[in-house]
Amino acid sequence: MQIAQDVVVAIHYTLTDDKGEVLDSSSGADPLAYIHGSGGIISGLEEALLGKVAGDKLKVAIPAEKAYGAHEPGLIQQVPKRAFQGAGEIKAGMRFTAQTEHGPRQVVVTRVAGDMVTIDGNHPLAGQDLNFDVEIIEVRAATAEELEHGHVHGAGGHHH
Ligand code: ZN
Protein backbone atom coordinates (compact mmCIF):
# COMPACT_ATOMS: atom_id res chain seq x y z
CA MET A 1 0.00 0.00 0.00
CA GLN A 2 1.33 3.43 -0.94
CA ILE A 3 1.20 6.50 1.27
CA ALA A 4 -1.73 8.66 0.17
CA GLN A 5 -4.35 11.00 1.62
CA ASP A 6 -6.04 9.57 4.75
CA VAL A 7 -3.87 6.49 5.23
CA VAL A 8 -2.22 5.77 8.57
CA VAL A 9 1.57 5.92 8.41
CA ALA A 10 4.01 4.86 11.12
CA ILE A 11 7.62 6.03 10.81
CA HIS A 12 10.81 5.95 12.76
CA TYR A 13 12.73 9.16 12.29
CA THR A 14 15.81 11.04 13.36
CA LEU A 15 15.76 14.79 13.03
CA THR A 16 19.02 16.71 12.69
CA ASP A 17 19.84 20.35 12.11
CA ASP A 18 22.26 21.66 9.49
CA LYS A 19 25.22 21.01 11.76
CA GLY A 20 24.27 17.34 12.05
CA GLU A 21 23.18 17.69 15.66
CA VAL A 22 20.30 15.36 16.60
CA LEU A 23 17.26 17.40 17.68
CA ASP A 24 14.72 14.62 18.03
CA SER A 25 14.36 10.93 17.34
CA SER A 26 11.77 8.18 17.72
CA SER A 27 14.58 5.67 18.37
CA GLY A 28 13.82 3.54 21.41
CA ALA A 29 10.14 4.52 21.43
CA ASP A 30 7.03 3.67 19.42
CA PRO A 31 7.18 4.85 15.83
CA LEU A 32 5.42 8.13 15.16
CA ALA A 33 1.96 7.38 13.73
CA TYR A 34 -0.08 9.97 11.85
CA ILE A 35 -2.89 10.26 9.30
CA HIS A 36 -1.44 11.42 5.99
CA GLY A 37 -2.85 14.75 4.82
CA SER A 38 -4.29 15.72 8.21
CA GLY A 39 -1.60 18.23 9.10
CA GLY A 40 -0.19 15.88 11.74
CA ILE A 41 3.38 16.32 10.52
CA ILE A 42 5.18 19.19 8.79
CA SER A 43 4.26 19.73 5.13
CA GLY A 44 7.75 19.18 3.70
CA LEU A 45 7.91 15.71 5.24
CA GLU A 46 4.41 14.78 4.04
CA GLU A 47 5.38 15.74 0.47
CA ALA A 48 8.47 13.55 0.63
CA LEU A 49 6.53 10.55 2.00
CA LEU A 50 3.71 10.62 -0.54
CA GLY A 51 3.70 7.44 -2.67
CA LYS A 52 6.25 5.61 -0.50
CA VAL A 53 5.64 2.15 0.97
CA ALA A 54 6.46 0.29 4.19
CA GLY A 55 10.15 -0.58 4.34
CA ASP A 56 11.27 2.47 2.37
CA LYS A 57 14.05 4.55 3.92
CA LEU A 58 14.70 8.11 2.91
CA LYS A 59 16.68 11.19 3.82
CA VAL A 60 14.82 14.46 3.40
CA ALA A 61 16.18 17.99 3.64
CA ILE A 62 13.36 20.41 4.46
CA PRO A 63 13.75 24.18 4.22
CA ALA A 64 12.41 26.16 7.19
CA GLU A 65 9.39 27.43 5.26
CA LYS A 66 8.14 23.86 4.79
CA ALA A 67 9.06 22.91 8.34
CA TYR A 68 8.14 25.22 11.24
CA GLY A 69 8.21 28.47 9.27
CA ALA A 70 10.39 31.54 9.41
CA HIS A 71 11.47 32.98 12.73
CA GLU A 72 9.15 35.96 13.19
CA PRO A 73 10.54 38.86 15.22
CA GLY A 74 6.93 40.03 15.79
CA LEU A 75 6.31 37.00 18.01
CA ILE A 76 8.91 38.25 20.49
CA GLN A 77 7.29 40.53 23.04
CA GLN A 78 8.09 42.39 26.21
CA VAL A 79 5.48 42.04 28.90
CA PRO A 80 5.44 43.33 32.47
CA LYS A 81 6.15 40.76 35.20
CA ARG A 82 2.77 41.42 36.79
CA ALA A 83 1.16 39.70 33.77
CA PHE A 84 2.46 36.43 35.25
CA GLN A 85 0.77 36.81 38.63
CA GLY A 86 0.42 33.47 40.39
CA ALA A 87 3.13 31.76 38.34
CA GLY A 88 5.85 32.12 40.98
CA GLU A 89 9.32 33.37 40.13
CA ILE A 90 9.73 33.93 36.38
CA LYS A 91 12.95 32.63 34.85
CA ALA A 92 14.34 32.26 31.34
CA GLY A 93 13.39 28.90 29.85
CA MET A 94 9.93 28.71 31.44
CA ARG A 95 7.09 27.87 29.08
CA PHE A 96 3.57 29.24 29.17
CA THR A 97 0.45 29.15 27.07
CA ALA A 98 -0.34 32.77 26.27
CA GLN A 99 -3.67 34.08 25.03
CA THR A 100 -2.99 36.06 21.87
CA GLU A 101 -5.12 37.63 19.16
CA HIS A 102 -4.40 34.44 17.13
CA GLY A 103 -5.60 32.15 19.91
CA PRO A 104 -3.59 30.26 22.52
CA ARG A 105 0.09 29.96 21.70
CA GLN A 106 3.07 28.34 23.41
CA VAL A 107 5.65 30.90 24.46
CA VAL A 108 9.00 30.60 26.16
CA VAL A 109 10.56 33.17 28.48
CA THR A 110 13.87 34.21 26.94
CA ARG A 111 14.92 37.02 29.27
CA VAL A 112 13.95 38.62 32.57
CA ALA A 113 15.25 42.14 33.19
CA GLY A 114 13.89 44.19 36.06
CA ASP A 115 10.12 44.28 35.82
CA MET A 116 10.05 43.26 32.16
CA VAL A 117 9.89 39.75 30.78
CA THR A 118 10.75 38.88 27.17
CA ILE A 119 8.65 36.06 25.70
CA ASP A 120 9.10 34.35 22.34
CA GLY A 121 6.10 32.73 20.61
CA ASN A 122 8.12 31.21 17.78
CA HIS A 123 8.25 27.44 17.51
CA PRO A 124 11.63 26.32 18.92
CA LEU A 125 12.54 25.05 15.43
CA ALA A 126 11.27 28.12 13.53
CA GLY A 127 13.78 29.46 11.02
CA GLN A 128 15.73 26.19 10.90
CA ASP A 129 16.31 23.96 7.89
CA LEU A 130 15.75 20.39 9.02
CA ASN A 131 17.03 17.00 7.93
CA PHE A 132 14.96 13.88 8.48
CA ASP A 133 16.20 10.31 8.28
CA VAL A 134 13.02 8.28 7.94
CA GLU A 135 12.16 4.59 7.87
CA ILE A 136 8.57 3.73 7.01
CA ILE A 137 7.39 1.03 9.38
CA GLU A 138 3.73 0.62 8.46
CA VAL A 139 1.19 1.93 5.97
CA ARG A 140 -2.44 0.94 6.45
CA ALA A 141 -5.95 2.20 5.84
CA ALA A 142 -7.35 4.43 8.57
CA THR A 143 -10.46 3.24 10.40
CA ALA A 144 -13.63 5.33 10.13
CA GLU A 145 -13.19 6.21 13.80
CA GLU A 146 -9.63 7.44 13.29
CA LEU A 147 -10.70 9.65 10.39
CA GLU A 148 -13.54 11.03 12.48
CA HIS A 149 -11.20 11.79 15.40
CA GLY A 150 -8.41 13.09 13.15
CA HIS A 151 -5.73 11.01 14.87
CA VAL A 152 -4.34 7.48 14.97
CA HIS A 153 -5.43 4.97 17.59
CA GLY A 154 -3.11 2.39 19.13
CA ALA A 155 0.70 2.22 19.06
CA GLY A 156 2.26 5.62 18.47
CA GLY A 157 -1.17 7.28 18.59
CA HIS A 158 -3.98 7.94 21.03
CA HIS A 159 -5.18 5.42 23.60
CA HIS A 160 -8.75 6.13 24.66
ZN1 ZN B 1 -9.53 9.10 18.97
Residue 19 lies in a domain: yes
* CA 43–ligand 1 middle distance (angstroms): 22
Q: Are residues 64 and 11 in the same domain?
A: yes
Phi/psi zone of residue 154: left (φ > 0), alpha (ψ -120 to 50 degrees), beta? left
User: Do residue 116 and residue 77 come from a single domain?
Assistant: yes
Residues 79 and 108 in one domain: yes
Q: Read off the pLDDT of each residue in 81-97 and give the average, rounded to a whole number.
A: 89
Q: How many C-alpha atoms does 21 have within 13 Å on its Cβ side?
A: 6
Residues 51 and 103 in one domain: no
Going from the Cα of 36 to the center of ligand 1, the distance in angstroms, rounded, reads 15
pLDDT tier, 88 (very low <50, low <70, confident <90, very high otherwise): confident
What's the 126 CA to ligand 1 centre distance in angstroms? 29
Radius of gyration of the chain (CA): 19
Q: Is residue 58 part of a domain?
A: yes
Nearest to 42 by CA among 61, 56, 18: 61
Number of domains in the chain: 2
pLDDT tens digits, 47-72: 999 999 999 999 999 999 999 999 99
CA of 127 to the centre of ligand 1 (A): 32
- Structural domain of residue 49, as residue ranges? 7-68+125-149
Query: pTM of the entire structure?
Result: 0.79
Give the mean pLDDT of the chain. 93
Distance between Cα 158 and ligand 1 center (Å): 6
Residues 43 and 56 in one domain: yes
- With beta carbons less than 8 A apart as the criterion, state whether 55 and 136 touch: yes
